Amino acid sequence: IELGSTKDNNKALFCLKQGGRVDHLTLNNESILADLPATMYHEHYASAILFPFANRVKNGIYEFNNNRYQLYCNEINKQNAIHGLVYNKNFDITTTELNEHHGIISLHYKYRGLEDGSPFKFHIQLTYILKKTSLELQVTIHNIGQQAFPFTIGWHPYFISSNLSNSYLEFKGLKKVGANESARSNSENASNSIEMINLKDTILDDAFYSEYQALKFITPNYDLLMKTSSKNNYIQLYTPEVINTIAIEPMTGVPNSFNNKIGLQTLNPSKSYTICWTISVQSKNNHQPPIK
């Protein structure tokens, strides 16, 4: 389904049968998402909503409330469960709205707890708000079961640059998360100064933590500012083999959080959790506000 405005030439295309993900996005006359084939979605998971676990669960095994669970390992070559349980589900449309200022679409899916390793029922709603220079994604999870369950949540967009070797990531206080590091130690050691990663000849598949809730992707054609509402602000950076492409994945926990507990949260019965991510784009002819 497509949402857009001919007046502003902004457009978003959504795949309801692939977890309600956004497949194409044009903001401020810039196409910013990598054009990855939908037929290979089971390998790249582009723009997937990652829930109830972001990234991976090692060997698909975790323990919660003294019970041991085995998830289906969809990363077969490494025997991991990756990217949650909703990335391949069919979402339904809740509401749509379109006017001269913005377009809104809300999608939902009800998980009935029938998959291996996750007997916990929940309802998930995605609300996308498209404006001329920004896309806001609000995700609300409601526990509709009788049991509490563990969770992290994330988003997996791949961004395109006309020249990744001449592109940068700019941030405040970003710190790489090691396998044995805690969120507290990362927070205490994070720098307050603006820092930058030059993406020339850089290979990334790493998790980071920041006290701050914004990150900037600087390309030759546009600057992108990504913000999150989460106080648990982790991010996975990944450079695939696809040329001039980078995945910038905001998350509330690190890989294997169901076992290392970094960023792991619990949602009790009848309770809800909401998170919001916003990406805004300015072309090189416009002024980009500084990270705050």
| SS3 of the chain: helix, strand, coil, percent, to 5 | 10, 50, 45
Low-confidence ranges of the chain (pLDDT < 70): 5-6, 178-194, 285-292
- Architecture field, domain 2-161+240-282: Distorted Sandwich (2.70)
Q: What pLDDT is stored for residue 89 in this prediction?
A: 98
Rounded CA-CA distance 40/48 in Å is 13
Amino acid in the structure at residue 184: R
Rounded CA-CA distance 119/122 in Å is 10
Q: What pLDDT is stored for residue 184 in this prediction?
A: 38
Strands 234-238 and 205-209: antiparallel
Q: What pLDDT is stored for residue 76 in this prediction?
A: 86
Q: What pLDDT is stored for residue 162 in this prediction?
A: 95
Closest to 43 measured CA to CA, from 2, 78, 91, 1:
78
Rounded CA-CA distance 3/1 in Å is 7
Structural domain spans, the chain: 2-161+240-282
DSSP state for residue 39 in the 8-state scheme: G
Beta carbons within 10 angstroms of residue 190's beta carbon:
19
Q: What pLDDT is stored for residue 248 in this prediction?
A: 97
Closest to 89 measured CA to CA, from 61, 54, 51, 40:
51
Residues of the chain with pLDDT > 90: what percent? 75
Report if pTM > 0.75: yes
Q: What pLDDT is stored for residue 258 in this prediction?
A: 98
Closest to 227 measured CA to CA, from 164, 162, 134:
134
Q: What pLDDT is stored for residue 234 in this prediction?
A: 94
Letter string b/e over residues 52-74, b meaning 16 or more CB atoms within 10 A of that residue's CB? bbbbbbbebbbeeeeeebebebb
What contacts 40, CB < 8 A, 6 or more positions away?
none
Q: What pLDDT is stored for residue 257 in this prediction?
A: 96
